[in-house]
Structure 1
Amino acid sequence: MRQLSRRARRGTLALHVCSSAGWLGMTLCLLALGLTAALTGSGPAAEASYRSMKVFADWLLAPLALVTLASGVLLSVGTRWGLARYWWVWIKFWLTLAATLASVLLFRTRIDSTVADVAAGRPILPYELVIPPLVSLSAYTFMTVISVLKPWGPTKRGRRSTPVRRRPPARGPQAGAPDSGRQDGSPAADRRSRSAASGAQDRSPAAGSRNRPPASGRRSRSAASASGRRAVG
């Protein structure tokens, strides 16, 4: 899938965070109402709590669950995280899918049947609407934690899809490195290097021996000048 633009990614992320927080808060409300209905000794108070749970389930449970699931999948496939590249994304997807199906298909149906039993005067189990929101709250807290920490690293599929970065081979001082005098490539540096080379040649002993005349030639010239002075004298 094509990657989301920056604006689309931010908008989808804001929608996902808001819907997830709303789903978590609604689950807390359902848990509080279920505990109130189970612990109170008043029939009208328990009936009011169950009816309030039905209002939350009818108007908020399914929309928040579906929006959270859809925005999470869109963020996964539309960004670099992917849906099955990292363990925390993959586990969060399956937990969200299971929580959505359980909330929409099972928990909501159970709330409707409980309200009907209370209205008809039939007995109900005191904690039958406490356990489902408690399990859901634990799952949502766990998913929030792994979304922040991002543990466990990539999956096998993620390791296959990630390109391997290879380091370039290290170059030694003799692996075609430029001369230190010509590193900047300027004409002044070239002239300095040539003048330094010529000065070194002039100061070398071999260059001095080439510039001086041989010793035999000096002796022959001195002997000739001495004989010339004797002949004149």
Structure 2
Amino acid sequence: MSYRLSMKQKNWVVVLHVLSIVGWLGGAVCMLLLSRHMLYADQGEQLYYTLENMHLIDSTLIRYPALIALVTGIVLSLWTQWGIFKYYWILIKLVLTVSLIVFGITCMGQWLSELFRTADEMRLAALGDAKFLDTAYRLLGGAVANIGALVFMTAISYFKPLGKIRKTARKS
């Protein structure tokens, strides 16, 4: 028999899981709002410090909560009755969570660093640079994608659509 969390343990892991999602979602909303604020900066220092704050939010309210959500989600799947590969909604959440984390590391983090470096060098003139603006709009779109995916994952956690993953019948 595999290990199972007690009800009290499960509840604490669920609390940690939900809080991490709330932090991650809050960070994504902050990134969206600050991205918009960045695009309307009227001083070089405002642009630079907005990007500096976005970097801080990325480092604290997005990275760690995302990893905590992944770990607690896996713990809840493995050590409760749900299982990782029993239900479609759990598998969808796992794939989306890993995809968002990889996207955040490979794309959004790189875009934010690029914007930060450019703003440090050019200050307000960066807002006239086509490459800077293209990257800024990508970052803004990434924030929208994060928010959309997190809201979708929250919804499927409650509605649990598509049911169980059916095992194919084996021929003897």
TM superposition score normalised by structure 1? 0.64
The equivalent residue for 1:150 is: 160
Counterpart amino acid of residue 33 in structure 2: A
Counterpart amino acid of residue 16 in structure 1: H
The equivalent residue for 2:151 is: 141
Q: Which has the larger radius of gyration?
A: 1
Counterpart amino acid of residue 145 in structure 1: A
Higher RCO (CA 8 Å, separation ≥ 6 residues)? 2
Comparing 3-12 with 117-126, greater Cα deviation is found at 117-126
- Cα distance between partner residues in 2 of 1:127 and 1:44: 20
Contact 2:88 2:161 in 1 (8 A): yes
Aligned residues: 159
* Deviation per residue, 1:119-168 (Å, 9 max, x gap): 111531152321110111110010010011111110113x98xxxxxxxx
CA RMSD across the alignment: 1.7
- Cα distance between partner residues in 1 of 2:34 and 2:86: 39
Note the 1:92-171 alignment, pairs <5 A. Answer: 92-121=93-122, 122=126, 123=129, 124-125=132-133, 126-157=136-167
Note the 1:1-233 alignment, pairs <5 A. Answer: 1-121=2-122, 122=126, 123=129, 124-125=132-133, 126-157=136-167
Aligned-partner SS, 2:93 = helix
TM superposition score normalised by structure 2? 0.85
Contact 2:31 2:54 in 1 (8 A): yes
| CA shift for structure 1 position 66 | 0.5
Contact 2:35 2:140 in 1 (8 A): yes
Counterpart amino acid of residue 142 in structure 1: F
- Cα distance between partner residues in 2 of 1:18 and 1:104: 21
Contact 1:20 1:68 in 2 (8 A): yes
Identical columns (%): 27
- Structure 1 or 2: larger helix share? 2
| CA shift for structure 1 position 48 | 2.1
Contact 1:69 1:100 in 2 (8 A): no
Which segments of structure 1 move beyond 4 Å, counting only runs of 4 or more?
A: none
- Cα distance between partner residues in 2 of 1:52 and 1:32: 11
Structure 2: state its 5+ residue gaps.
none
| CA shift for structure 1 position 53 | 0.3
- Cα distance between partner residues in 2 of 1:104 and 1:84: 26
